[in-house]
């Protein structure tokens, strides 16, 4: 049985960082750093891969739904409710 739920989360991204990592939450926004440059969507792809890796899901289930050309993004994770998303990322509810 496949879940059709999806959860969204605000993320602030720093591109061209020394390593890919999730730095925690500030003011309800997940802080992420990725090595990829913010060119041709590479930082967005790296962010989706990083979040998918942390959640142990396929990268295709993670998408940037707003802020593709901004540091402030809204991501959507398919097949997961918000509580499971926050728990999987280690973010307190």
Record the tokens describing residue 44, joined without a space: 């967005």
Exposure letters 34-65 (e unless 16+ CB within 10 A, then b): bebebeeeebbebbbebbbebbebebebbbbe
CATH code: domain of residue 61: 3.30.1200.10
Is 77 contained in some domain? yes
Using one digit for the tens of pLDDT, what is the confidence trace for 47-67? 999 999 999 999 999 999 999
Is 69 contained in some domain? yes
Can you say how many angstroms the Cα of residue 27 is from the centroid of all Cα atoms in its chain? 16
Is 54 contained in some domain? yes
Q: What is the DSSP letter of 80?
A: -
Using one digit for the tens of pLDDT, what is the confidence trace for 12-28? 999 999 999 999 999 98
Percent of the chain past pLDDT 90, that is, above it, reads 89
* Number of domains, the chain: 1
């Amino acid at each position: 049985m496949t879940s059709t739920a999806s959860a969204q989360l605000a993320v602030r991204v720093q591109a061209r960082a020394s390593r890919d990592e999730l730095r925690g939450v500030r003011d309800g926004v997940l802080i992420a750093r990725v090595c990829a440059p913010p060119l041709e969507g590479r930082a967005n792809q790296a962010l989706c891969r990083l979040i998918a890796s942390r959640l142990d899901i396929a990268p295709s289930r993670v998408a940037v739904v707003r802020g593709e050309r901004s540091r402030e993004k809204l991501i959507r994770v398919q097949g997961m409710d918000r509580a499971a998303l926050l728990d999987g990322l280690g973010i307190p509810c």
